């Protein structure tokens, strides 16, 4: 009886797992499987970014030396072809070479780091200035705050931005408030810079390290090897809290920062071709304090504004930019459409479905269309 029951269950299992035949209407082919990271073969907007041709990168020395706000000594100098992580490495090496108070530390930093941003720095500047730390984000930031309070300029690397949350107590309750708490003693964490692979490059990082205010410098890790351009070889800084107009326009102001700028550029190219509009693209470069003057001047000219960022839309950068625009009387009266935000949804960023969460070319393209049709 027992053996008969087992044979019966086996036959049922085989029948259950047999794949049913798929019946399709005439002329319709079965769906083809493709890797998650690839784009559909019939995609029209969400195509892979071609970093070798994008106008957002300086592909020639002339383009690099024409960068807005580039200091005169660097503007007259040479350039070198670098990818993003090499530009970060060059900035760290320059800071270490020109200021003995600069320290670089974090998990695996002495070995070059998992993304190779600190490669060869320990060999060049010694283990007392470039060194590894235990795997404790709150400890890394706590040590950096103490070093900054004693007059050093620590550059603390958080290996992955996803792991920074345990250090929020140190960042929010110590680094940000120390100057207010110490009062007339003058002690602060002003020399602190926290690096997280999460744009900017050489000039912005040097400015952050040398700033007398604590800075958090986010590095889009997808750009470390993808973004290759000519970078000025000289020691130079780009001003913090100063936006850059990457592309002038007349009808819509498109504001973003970091990796989404490349999706914005692709959306603009298609929208200008399809709608006949002229879109101005602004890179905030610094998200706090951010450059209100550049944004307001642009919106007063175009009358329409779209803000794009990867972080969740709720209480994000777009909300602050939109509120500031409508609070400024001279800018508010020039609006021809409500300020539009295109951002991540109000959920934690999902690993498996992050492409459905981040702003893509289609969503940005549709945002431009909506403000033009309002």
pTM: 0.86
pLDDT on residue 21? 54
pLDDT on residue 39? 66
pLDDT on residue 199? 47
User: What one-character DSSP code corresponds to residue 39?
Assistant: P
Domain boundaries, the chain: 61-232, 244-373
Cα distances (angstroms) measured from residue 121 to each of 93, 157, 199, 264, 373: 7, 14, 22, 35, 53
Cβ distance 256 to 284 under 8 Å? yes
- Per CATH, 61-232 and 244-373 having the same topology is answered yes
pLDDT on residue 6? 46
Q: 252-256 and 279-283: which strand pairing? A: parallel
pLDDT on residue 33? 58
- For the chain (374 residues), the mean pLDDT of every run of 10, in chain order, is 50 48 54 58 85 91 88 91 94 97 96 92 96 95 94 93 90 90 83 64 92 90 90 92 94 96 95 96 93 98 97 94 97 97 90 88 96 96
| CATH class held by domain 244-373 | alpha beta
- Nearest Cα neighbor of 84 from 217, 230, 209, 207 is 230
pLDDT on residue 42? 80
Angle between the N-to-C axes of helices 202-210 and 84-98, in degrees from 0 to 180, rounded to the nearest 10: 30
- CATH for 61-232 (3.40.50.970, 3.30.565.10, 3.30.1370.160, 1.10.10.60): 3.40.50.970
């Amino acid at each position: 009886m027992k053996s008969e029951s087992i044979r019966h269950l086996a036959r049922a299992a085989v029948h259950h797992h047999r794949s049913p035949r798929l019946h399709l209407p005439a002329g319709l082919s079965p769906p083809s499987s493709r890797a998650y990271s690839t784009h559909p073969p019939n995609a029209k907007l969400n195509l892979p970014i071609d970093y070798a041709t994008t106008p957002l990168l300086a592909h020639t020395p002339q383009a690099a030396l024409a960068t807005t706000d580039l200091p005169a000594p660097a503007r007259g100098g040479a350039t070198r072809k670098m990818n993003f992580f090499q530009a970060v490495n060059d900035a760290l090496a320059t800071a270490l070479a020109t200021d003995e108070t600069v320290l670089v530390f974090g998990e695996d930093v002495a070995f070059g780091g998992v993304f190779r941003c600190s490669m060869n720095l320990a060999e060049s500047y010694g283990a007392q200035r470039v060194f590894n730390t235990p795997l404790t984000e709150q400890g890394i930031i706590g040590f950096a705050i103490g070093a900054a309070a004693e007059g050093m300029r620590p550059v603390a690397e958080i290996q992955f931005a996803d792991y920074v949350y345990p250090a929020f107590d140190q960042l929010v309750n110590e680094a940000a408030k120390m100057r207010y708490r110490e009062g007339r003693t003058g002690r602060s964490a002003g020399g602190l810079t926290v690096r997280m692979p999460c744009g900017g490059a050489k000039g912005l990082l040097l400015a952050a390290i040398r700033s007398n205010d604590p800075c958090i410098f986010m590095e889009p890790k997808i750009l470390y090897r993808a973004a290759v351009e000519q970078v000025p070889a000289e020691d130079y800084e780009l001003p913090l809290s100063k936006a850059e107009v990457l592309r002038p326009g007349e009808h819509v102001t498109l504001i973003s920062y970091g990796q989404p700028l490349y999706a914005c550029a692709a959306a603009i190219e298609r929208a200008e071709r399809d709608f006949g509009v002229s879109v101005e693209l602004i890179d905030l470069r610094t998200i706090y304090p951010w450059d209100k003057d550049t944004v307001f001047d642009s919106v007063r000219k175009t009358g329409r504004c779209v803000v794009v960022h990867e972080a969740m839309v709720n209480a994000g950068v777009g909300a602050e930019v939109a509120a500031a625009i409508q609070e400024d009387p001279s800018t508010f009266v020039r609006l021809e459409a409500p300020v539009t935000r295109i951002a991540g949804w109000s959920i934690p960023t999902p690993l498996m479905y992050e492409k459905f969460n981040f702003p893509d070319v289609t969503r940005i393209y549709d945002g431009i269309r909506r403000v033009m049709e309002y």
